[in-house]
Amino acid sequence: MEFSIKSTLPEKLKTDCIAVGIFETRKLSDAAESIDSASGGHISGILKRGDMEGRSGTSLLLHHVPGIAAERVLLVGLGKEAEFAEKAYIDAIHAALEAVRNTGAKDAAFYFTAIPVKDRNAQWSIHHAVLEVMDSLYHFDKMKSKPEKKRDALKKLSFFALDAGAELALKQGVAVAEGVNFAKDLGNLPGNVCTPSYLAGQALEIAKEFKLESRILEQKDMKALGMGSLLSVTRGSHEPPKLIVLEYRGAAKNKKPVVLVGKGITFDSGGISLKPGADMDEMKYDMCGAASVLGAIRAAAQMKLKLNIVAIVPSCENMPGGSATKPGDIVTSMSGQTIEVLNTDAEGRLILCDALTYAEKFDPETVVDVATLTGACVIALGHVASGLYSNDETLASELLEAGKQARDRAWQMPLWEDYQEQLKSNFADMANIGGRPAGSVTAACFLARFTKQFRWAHLDVAGTAHRSGKHKGSTGRPVPLLTRFLIERSSGA
Ligand code: BES
Ligand code: MN
Ligand code: ZN
């Protein structure tokens, strides 16, 4: 899709379809008003007949509207004017898009994008128009032998805006949406395609396209670094593990980087503590943290943010096998701390802890890790919010606010010392599980033992990175949250 900003008067705009807003009840928005007067009251006449109330989510397509340049006019319901906030705006975007896609229009213009949305600015409206449209248009058919037949006529979509920041908001929206799509594709690819080597290859593609520095650490490098915890997870697999590092430099060399760490388990069978069979296919999504971190650094590079960013992705499979790690095995992490692996299915924290210790090498300003870490987080927060943990309250607030702005919300959970007790081991410095109570919290508490050297936050995205059931698929979350956080960081600099 080709996006652009328009500032032409609505009645003068040459397009296959112009979409204008109608408030409840039958109240014309400014653009609808202009078209109405240019057409000699055509729109108000139709409204009087009772064909359109302006309810949120509704639309009405009109052909042959006299006196205007557009081929078609789409009236889009916006709900009550006094209640025109985020949800009504987003619903209008979707209703308009669906209606336009049902016509043969090759290009269209949404003119309701300039109507102020409660508590949000003009840039937000444009940014999210792009994100919502790209989200709706996304489909994954890379693994079908024949691509699906249905082809969209719509090739160009423009948004009306008079705001000076609209062009930038559009560009950034496209960059973020492409980062989201990148993450979605990686998530949706099956485990036999999206292996650690494939992830590394994709990271190198990003590095090439956006001129980032890259480094792939192999098993022997991990051994040399003493990453005994990471290495214990890959033991049962025939796929070689990779530790992927991308560096984007958009600020002065001496400026400390934001380091993003993403869990890249390309398939989580549970290992010797094998998972039950039902829905085990969804464990191909266990690399969504990695995908989001790669998608975010890609978007940041495309936006040329004035920020230094490092992405670190520890990646391997978690499989059973003759040489796989067994419950009761004790491993030594890169930090020197020893871990009793009581459950090989709690493998995410085992690869993350070594990646977090490795992050110290970059002298980070902040470290944010993203992981589909615990089923317990899904029980706590469902599929709405990602779980947020942090050892720094300012960082936590920044991420929470970024999530709200980005419509990719997180909810803060406690990291209190009281929970650390559950990780006690009789034989090693700690166990890798803390029992059933507060499973998402104890997983975060485990990571906290490896992040004392820097400001750190952890996002548990087990419930938000992908969907199950009929709409099974990757969501691309939390790329919107991460990129909003990075944009805010770079504009504050
Ligand atoms: N990858 C899973 C977590 C997960 C579960 C993600 C469901 C998405 C949906 C993780 O590696 C795992 O298996 N966690 C265990 C931890 C337990 C053994 C302490 C879990 O949540 O059951
Ligand atoms: Mn697991
Ligand atoms: Zn896992």
Q: Which domain holds residue 93?
A: 2-161
pLDDT at 302: 98
Tell me, yes or no, whether 298 lies in a domain.
Answer: yes
* Domain finish residue from 104, 126, 161: 161
**477 catalytic per annotation:** no
pLDDT at 124: 98
Separation of alpha carbons 395 and 405, rounded Å: 15
Contact 300, 355 (CB under 8 A): no
Residue 345 Cα to ligand 3 midpoint, Å, equals 7
At residue 493 the predicted structure's pLDDT band, cuts being 50, 70 and 90, is: low
Instruction: Give me the CATH number covering residue 387.
Output: 3.40.630.10
At residue 492 the predicted structure's pLDDT band, cuts being 50, 70 and 90, is: confident
* Domain finish residue from 161, 193, 213: 161
Answer yes or no: do 374 and 274 share one domain.
yes
Tell me, yes or no, whether 83 lies in a domain.
Answer: yes
Instruction: Give me the CATH number covering residue 125.
Output: 3.40.220.10
pLDDT at 402: 98
| Both structure tokens of 44 | 């108000």
What does the pLDDT look like over 226-271, one tens digit per residue? Answer: 999 999 999 999 999 999 999 999 999 999 999 999 999 999 999 9
What does the pLDDT look like over 105-150, one tens digit per residue? Answer: 999 999 999 999 999 999 999 999 999 999 999 999 999 999 877 7
End-to-end CA distance of the chain: 32
pLDDT at 168: 98
- Region 435-456: mean pLDDT is 99
- Region 45-49: mean pLDDT is 96
Look at residues 409, 260, 426, 422 and name the one whose alpha carbon lies nearest to residue 346.
422
* Domain finish residue from 107, 134, 161: 161
Tell me, yes or no, whether 227 lies in a domain.
Answer: yes
Answer yes or no: do 296 and 334 share one domain.
yes
68's CB contacts (< 8 A; 6+ apart) are 10, 11, 12, 18, 35, 38, 39
Tell me, yes or no, whether 364 lies in a domain.
Answer: yes
Q: Average pLDDT over the chain, rounded to whole?
A: 98
Helix, strand, or coil here: 245? Answer: strand
pLDDT surpasses 90 at 218? yes
pLDDT at 149: 72
At residue 324 the predicted structure's pLDDT band, cuts being 50, 70 and 90, is: very high
- Region 476-493: mean pLDDT is 94
What does the pLDDT look like over 63-75, one tens digit per residue? Answer: 999 999 999 999 9
Answer yes or no: do 263 and 334 share one domain.
yes
Cα separations in angstroms, 311 against 200, 362, 374, 432, 465: 12, 11, 22, 25, 18
Other CB atoms within 10 Å distance of the CB of residue 46: 19
What residues does ligand 1 touch, defined as CB less than 6 Å away? 268, 286, 343, 345-348, 372-376, 378, 433, 439, 462
Answer yes or no: do 428 and 280 share one domain.
yes
**72 catalytic per annotation:** no
Answer yes or no: do 84 and 61 share one domain.
yes
Answer yes or no: do 145 and 36 share one domain.
yes
Q: Which amino acid is at 83?
A: E
pLDDT at 147: 81
Tell me, yes or no, whether 169 lies in a domain.
Answer: no
- Region 417-422: mean pLDDT is 98
Q: What is 7-52 written as a DSSP string?
A: -S-GGG---SEEEEEEEETTEEPHHHHHHHHHTTSHHHHHHHTTS-
48-53 — which CB contacts under 8 Å span 24+ positions?
Answer: 52/22, 52/26, 52/77, 53/24, 53/25, 53/26, 53/77
Catalytic, out of 101, 215, 275, 407: 275
Separation of alpha carbons 53 and 264, rounded Å: 49
Q: At what angle do helices 288-302 and 196-210 cross, to 10 degrees?
A: 10
Answer yes or no: do 103 and 148 share one domain.
yes
Tell me, yes or no, whether 63 lies in a domain.
Answer: yes
Answer yes or no: do 157 and 179 share one domain.
no
Catalytic, out of 349, 449, 477, 484: 349
- Region 33-38: mean pLDDT is 98
| Both structure tokens of 416 | 């209190």
Answer yes or no: do 182 and 147 share one domain.
no
Answer yes or no: do 134 and 237 share one domain.
no
Count of structural domains within the chain: 2
Q: In the chain, pLDDT over 70 holds for what percent of residues? A: 100
Tell me, yes or no, whether 167 lies in a domain.
Answer: no
What does the pLDDT look like over 1-33, one tens digit per residue? Answer: 999 999 999 999 999 999 999 999 999 999 999
Answer yes or no: do 133 and 196 share one domain.
no
pLDDT surpasses 60 at 172? yes
Answer yes or no: do 40 and 139 share one domain.
yes
